[in-house]
Each structure stands twice: as structure tokens, then as C-alpha cells.
Structure 1
């Protein structure tokens, strides 16, 4: 038998003589994503498949919707080995490993083809994985959380001036906080699970997130205007506690990794469908939707020194790896 994580024992999966209940590896996985988000539903399918294919010997329980705490709390739990896996946003990971946030640079990627090329392999992906590895984290692939828009209850965002003084909810991301400060807004960090109440009670004037996430959190019930600013992309890394992962038998690693990869593919496809169909559904729910010209927003960021600031923070080598896929920023 091999020792895994905090005193757990796992017999090789190929040992049918050992009773499954005596050798079951029971692990926890935390996630901030709502129950009906495709990141949740596709992971549930993957964990069910892992459980079935291992005859119950690998039992990973997913706790979605921030049940285990905020993203930063779950990252801390993962690093300590209190949980074995987590799904956590690139934007929030920036507070731990700054380079993890680089794919979210404002208006960097024009679409998904260069984005997935950058994150599924190559120098930028390698640098991010190495940065996470220094904190004892093993990174799998990234699920999609989309290009982000602004939803508010006070006014549509048609120009940069409409953001002036707007109290906007952002995740705990230095990059997004910097972005909205540069555009004149007042960003405030609120746990995703608490955002609906914050918007309903006007603690915040609005939030920014992807269209499928806006749908999944149902904030359209307490907001009126959706502006398709597409200001930044964010995704969620599937992460493992490194020592726990390294302690697993190779066949267990192969089984988990294979189903995680399949979940990512399904999630990206489901997210794409939700994104394509979501605007019509949200219009039907009463949201007023507009698509502003994005060029003035990027020009305002250039003028405010946003890109120069982040190039200096990420460093010329990482910035150069980013620009291999985005072109000059």
C-alpha cells in the first residue's frame, strides 16, 4: 500500500482481492462555482466516472458554490493539504502566484483560438504552471469562465465616463482591481456567494463577470443593464495538492487526469453554447443589453499607464511570452 496525503492508505487499483471499502481514497474538492455552472456539472460527471471506473476506490467529493469558503480560503486549504483538489480562478490565484493572472490582461486576447493555444501548452502555460508549482500545487487544464462584461443596476456602460465612481464587485484580483481603478470605477472585493445580496442591497452598484456566470448566479434578478465590455478573460485552474498527487499510484493519477481532461473539454463546449445563447435568454428576462465600442476603453487604459504597469510587474520575459499569442499590447 502507498500512503497518500493526511494518513490515507490506497491499495493499488489492480488488487481486486482487497475490499473497496477498506481501501477507498476519500478526498475533497472545493469550488466557488454555482451548482448549475458547466464547470460544476462537468466536474460532477468526471468525479462520478472516476468513482465508477475505480469501483469506488477513488471517491472525490465536490463542494461547489463556496461551501468550503472563499477562493482564497480554499487555496490556503489546498496548500496545507486539508483538501486535495480545488477549482480556482486565474484572477484570484494572482494574489498567490502573480503570474497566474497574466491571461486576464485587459483586451489582450482577441478570441479563443490564441487563448487556448497559449494556455494548453507553450511558454506562457509552462511559466504559469512553474509558478504554481513553487507553492506546492499541481495544475491540470483550465476551464473557461469567459470574457467578462459589466452588469449594473444604475446605468448602462456606453462609455468610459459611465464607470466613474461605480462601485463594482470584482474577485480578489489585483489585475481586475487595477483595471477598474484605471477606468475611474471603485472596485470592491466581495465573495462570489455573497454578491447577489450585495447587489440587491446596493452595497455594490454592479459586478463584472462572464455572461454564463451572470446567468448562473441569477444576478439579473436584481440588476437591469448588461454591457458587453469584454474587458478581460478569466478561467479556472483545476489544482491538486502536490504531495497528495505525487503519493497516488500511477494508475490512479492516469484515471483522474484522464477524466479531468475530458471534463475540461466538455465544459468548454458547454460554456461556448451558454455564451452563444445566453444573451437572448437574458434579454427575455428583462435585461437591457448594449455593446459599447471597446477601443476607447483600451485607449483609456493605455493613457492611465495600465499596460506599462503590468509589463513591469510581470517582467519582460513573461510579457513577451504573452505577446507571442496576443500581439503587441
Structure 2
């Protein structure tokens, strides 16, 4: 009887210990802005992160995913990361640039040749230095960046093949001034609209068009109110994997390793899915009923000639020459390898 009593006592102690561990699991609220299905790169990557982190930490971190902007708007999510009320988010470049201006250097148009170059630059010294500076200035930790798609112009008025075709169009841009400069340098008028409000703005005719990658055009059903898409590829856009540093510093060393490793896995999944959609842009968007307008290298050079100097002048005026020079050096270093 004594042996049975000891066994029961030990079993009860183990149960209480396990229950106690479960009770103190750290909640990780994870926000993103794409729909909650596996065809969405952000969501597929988020689910992979959840499974990875909870597995590696044996449940000591409880990942709670809030897709489609359910938790807050994009600027509010950035503020939540800074305040620590939101633990993690995958956020597009516009809202990041609004809080941390040096990120706007990545809006320099017609800069990267392809995904291989863009990934190499962001995964190298330039990306590391940008992340370290962002952490120092904002208290937000960046684990890395995945593709938000190569950005193309869409509109519901006419085909855009050359800069002159932009004149007079009302274009939605992300909520950071650098995007206004980009669009206005090409002759269109720019209206900043937060991402969750974009479909309604197109439907109601508040704007004639917008600029986004294939993933976002499909994921938010923007094609329903946009007839033309021009494959000019003006900016290689990013989704950054961000975490409140207050939350990160409250993790154990093993938990910090887990979220870092799992972020890298999620980023890789995210990149692959988005890059595949960009590579098949014509097929995908024609399948959605859009008229795809090819842009020749000569026409692209015309866009570059008008947009790049204006945007670079704006960026230098906002953040100085240091970050643009670092980015130019990183791009040149990549090209020098070949």
C-alpha cells in the first residue's frame, strides 16, 4: 500500500509539473497580412514556423497566428512590435520604411537583376548591417526578409508599356513617402492606402491602379478590379520577419535558437512560393482574366531613367548617402563574382 501511495504521489507530482509547464508557456502572437490558406506564401510559412517552434521548444512557446490583418493594421502592427504587445509579424516594406527610414533604400527602382542577386544581398553583410541598425533604432529584431514579389503596375484604364502611359493615372502606393516619389516621378498621381483598404479603394474607383507582385494581386483578388498588368518589375519588394526584441530577450537561449532557425525555414518556404509565382506571372494573371503587357528591356530602361534618379535623390535626402552607397556596393560585389 505504501508503494502504491508513493507511486500515486509521484504520478500526481509529474502531472502537476507538466500542467505548470503548460501554464507558463510563452504566447507568441504572429501577425501577417495574407489570407489563411496554403496557397498564400505568408500563411504557409507561418504554419511551418508554428510547427517548427512548438516542436523544437516542446511547447514552451505557444505560436498563435493572426492572418489577413486580423490583429491590427500594418502601421499598428509595427507599433505593437515596438511596444511588445505583438511578439512577431511578417510585414511589407512600406510600413517598415515609415517607422525605420533606412529600409526605404530597398525601394530604389530597377536595382536587382533577379532573385538570386536580391537574396544574396539581403542574406549578406548589407542585410546584417541593416538588421543591426534597425534593432538599435527601433527595438525590433529582423531575422531576415522574404519576397513580397517583384512589383508591377496594374490599372483599370489602359495598358502601360512606357512612362508616358502613366500620365494622369491615380495610383495607390504603400504608406511611406518613398513610394509616392516613385510613382510621381513617372507622371502618375500617388495616393497612399493601407493594404487592408486596397481592394475597396480599387472597387470604388478611389484609385485607378496600384503596384504589387503576383502573389498579392492574386491573394487579395485585385485582378477583379484591374484589367491591365505591366510586367515592368520596378521594385523587388520584401516581407521582413520581425520580432519584438523585448520578447526575444525574455526567451531562454534554446528558445532563441529555435525561433531563429524556424524563421529561416519559414523565410525559405516563403521565398520559394513567391518566386515561383513571379516566374509564372503571365500564365497566372492571364488565367485571372488580366491583360498582361510585356515590357521590353528598352522600355524598362526608359522607366529606370525617369524613376531611379528621383527616388535616389529622395532617399538620400531622407537617410543620407551611407545606406544607398552600401547597397550599391553590395550589388556590385555580387556582380563581380561572375
TM normalised by structure 2 equals: 0.87
Measured in 2, the distance between the counterparts of 1:151 and 1:17 equals: 57
CA RMSD of aligned residues (A): 2.0
For residue 314 of structure 2, the aligned residue among 292, 306, 309 is 309
Measured in 1, the distance between the counterparts of 2:83 and 2:60 equals: 24
Measured in 2, the distance between the counterparts of 1:137 and 1:307 equals: 26
C-alpha change, 1:244 and 1:295, in structure 2 (3 Å) is same
Measured in 2, the distance between the counterparts of 1:190 and 1:308 equals: 23
SS of residue in 1 equivalent to 2:232: coil
> Match for residue 73 of structure 1?
76
> Match for residue 27 of structure 1?
28
The answer to whether the 8 A contact 1:91-1:234 is kept is: no
The answer to whether the 8 A contact 1:100-1:132 is kept is: no
Measured in 2, the distance between the counterparts of 1:45 and 1:308 equals: 40
C-alpha change, 1:110 and 1:154, in structure 2 (3 Å) is same
Is there any run of 5+ residues in structure 1 with no aligned partner, and where?
Answer: 1-15
Equivalence map 1:134-213=2 (5 Å): 134-213=137-216
The answer to whether the 8 A contact 1:124-1:318 is kept is: no
Measured in 1, the distance between the counterparts of 2:267 and 2:139 equals: 22
The answer to whether the 8 A contact 1:124-1:321 is kept is: no
> Match for residue 92 of structure 1?
95
Residues 40-68 of structure 1 deviation map (CA, whole Å, 9 limit, x = unaligned): 21111211232234333211111111112
Measured in 1, the distance between the counterparts of 2:118 and 2:218 equals: 23
For residue 330 of structure 2, the aligned residue among 313, 316, 325 is 325
Is there any run of 5+ residues in structure 2 with no aligned partner, and where?
Answer: 1-15, 334-338
C-alpha displacement at 1:302, in angstroms?
A: 5.3
C-alpha change, 1:302 and 1:116, in structure 2 (3 Å) is closer
Q: Which of the pair is proportionally richer in helix?
A: 2
Aligned residues: 312
C-alpha displacement at 1:17, in angstroms?
A: 4.4
Verify: 1:224 aligned to 2:224, yes or no. Answer: no
Measured in 1, the distance between the counterparts of 2:57 and 2:313 equals: 50
C-alpha change, 1:160 and 1:216, in structure 2 (3 Å) is same
Measured in 1, the distance between the counterparts of 2:36 and 2:223 equals: 17
- Structure number with greater Rg is 2
TM normalised by structure 1 equals: 0.89
The answer to whether the 8 A contact 1:179-1:306 is kept is: yes
